[in-house]
Amino acid sequence: MAHIVQEEKKGSKKRPKKGEAFVDMTPMVDLMSLLITFFMLTAAFSKPKVMEIILPEKIRKDEKVEPPKIADSRTLNIILGPDDKVYWYPGKADPEVTVLQETDFSATGIRQVLLDRNRALFRKIDQFEKDVISGKINIRQDSVRSAISQLKKDDDTGPIVLIKAYKTAKYKNFVDIIDEMSIVGIARYIFTDIDWIEENLVVDALNRAAAAPSGSAQ
Amino acid sequence: MPKVKLGAKSPRIDMTPMVDLFTLLLTFFILTATFRPQETAPVDTPFSVSEKPMMDANVMTVLIAKDNRIFFNVDNGPDTILKYRPKILAEMGKRYNIEFTEDELRLFEKTGTAVGVPIQDMKKYLSTKDSDEKIALEKGVPIDSADNQLSYWILFARQINPAINTMIKGDADVDFPVVREVLDILQDKMVNRFNLITNLRAVQITEEQIAE
């Protein structure tokens, strides 16, 4: 892009040219556009996202606080297993009766299980969001979230999900399951420690899967 | 009609306004850019649908690396004058009877890297220039019950900056019991609200799934 400055020969008069000091700015512009591109890209993509979780306060040993009672019929227990497996069972664990159902983190896995139980609330939230977009419900944008959390609070049909992790579960599974809760719009979920009954159930399930020839393992 | 004569000279474009604008933009982006300190250990965060962006200031981060080492990081607060980092380190030194010099505190303030050494090795870590030696020293912050340094880091960070937010940046493949241990330590220090650092992913639920 460099200019070829053609010298003008005009006789023998040697006169300094007026106001024609021309600096070739092309390299400078090149460099600057490069730098701008660099800074713009790094500014836009460097921000990671966060996911907020709130755990219930620990009950201290010297305090005499009854843990909250919840109805067995509404509880759904989810156990994070090894190799991205998810086990679930409804109600209360009974070493004689309870059989763990095995599923995974795919769209038809644990999400379908949760959605089946939470359909009423999910529809309500979905309909509410659609109404807001189409303008049927006139609500300020910043109060949409609190309206949804109010919907969740008022819900009394959806499951109460207890999430537990087997010792070989990965951190990724923990994030994934909380993620599923927000995707499906579960109103009430809690993270608790796994107990020995459930640990045995997982070991049984793993043994069963190992004993069965691969392919028909279900 | 006279012929229009094209000049032999190539036309000159006056680039001055463009350069002016570029300089302005460049200055703006340079000033707003926040340079992330070099990561001490590579951490591949898991994916989630959460769209909440991370806070800029008042952040303490517990990093859990792939090999189960724990790192701890705090920032200097919303304004650099606040100098939270050296204050927290000084408190840590007091607890473990280690006197940090003014230079060491300043060095700790300037390098925003995460702490991955036991506090006893901190002096050696700050004085060494060799990066291989530094990596060798990074054994992770001790979290076992005999010498739970992470809990003191959390305690002092919260004492010095009460508005601090807690972040957990774990590698996707970290074993869950390690994470559980970190969560327990945080809960012992009455931190019940955490932010897990994740990458964004998109998920959609189809109409059929709802209707079924």
In chain A, positions 148-177, which contact chain B (CB-CB < 8 Å)? 165, 167-176
Report the gap between the CA of B103 and the closest CA in chain A (Å). 31
Q: What percent of chain A stands above pLDDT 70?
A: 81
Mean pLDDT over A33-58 rounds to 80
Asked if the model's pLDDT at residue A182 lies above 50, the reply is yes
Q: Is A71 within 8 Å of chain B by CB?
A: no
Indicate the residue of A36, A116, A183 with minimum beta-carbon distance to B29.
A36
Mean pLDDT over A138-162 rounds to 79
Predicted pLDDT of residue A97: 75
The answer to whether B113 touches B73, Cβ cutoff 8 Å, is: yes
What is the DSSP-derived secondary structure letter of residue B115? B
Predicted pLDDT of residue B2: 63
The answer to whether B89 touches B98, Cβ cutoff 8 Å, is: no
The answer to whether B160 touches B92, Cβ cutoff 8 Å, is: no
Predicted pLDDT of residue A189: 85
Asked if the model's pLDDT at residue B5 lies above 70, the reply is no
- Residue B165 within a domain: yes
Residue of B nearest to A185 (CA): B205
Q: Is B167 within 8 Å of chain A by CB?
A: yes
In chain B, positions 63-92, which contact chain A (CB-CB < 8 Å)? 64
- Residue B17 within a domain: no
Q: Is B131 within 8 Å of chain A by CB?
A: no
- Residue B87 within a domain: yes
ipTM: 0.76
Domain that holds residue B187: 47-200
How big is the CA angle at B164 (ends B161 and B167), to the nearest 5 degrees? 145
**pLDDT tens per residue across span B102-117:** 888 888 888 878 888 8
Q: Among A120-129, B1-10, B130-139, which stretch is predicted with the lowest mean pLDDT?
A: B1-10
Predicted pLDDT of residue B32: 78
**pLDDT tens per residue across span B12-35:** 777 888 888 888 988 888 887 766
Asked if the model's pLDDT at residue A1 lies above 60, the reply is no
Half-sphere exposure of B199 (CA within 13 A, CB side): 11
More confident residue, B39 or A118: A118
- Residue B9 within a domain: no
Predicted pLDDT of residue B212: 55
Predicted pLDDT of residue A218: 43
Q: Is B21 within 8 Å of chain A by CB?
A: no
Asked if the model's pLDDT at residue A57 lies above 70, the reply is yes
Mean pLDDT of the residues in chain A:
78
Mean pLDDT of the residues in chain B:
83
CATH 3.30.420.270 spans which residues of chain A?
A: 74-118+159-213
DSSP characters over A152-215: HHH--SS-EEEEEE-TT-BHHHHHHHHHHHHHHT-SEEEE----HHHHHHHHHHHHHHHHSPTT
CATH code: domain A74-118+159-213 is 3.30.420.270
- Residue B211 within a domain: no
Asked if the model's pLDDT at residue B70 lies above 50, the reply is yes
Indicate the residue of A25, A36, A46 with minimum beta-carbon distance to B25.
A36
**pLDDT tens per residue across span A113-136:** 888 888 878 888 888 888 888 877
Report the gap between the CA of B120 and the closest CA in chain A (Å). 30
- Residue B15 within a domain: no
**pLDDT tens per residue across span A75-109:** 888 888 888 888 888 877 777 777 788 888 887 88
**pTM as predicted:** 0.75
- Whether residue A172 and residue B183 make contact (CB cut-off 8 A), yes or no, is no
Q: How many domains does chain B have?
A: 1
- Confidence band of A44 (pLDDT split at 50, 70, 90): low
- Confidence band of A216 (pLDDT split at 50, 70, 90): very low
Asked if the model's pLDDT at residue B60 lies above 70, the reply is yes
Mean pLDDT over B88-113 rounds to 87
The answer to whether B46 touches B198, Cβ cutoff 8 Å, is: yes
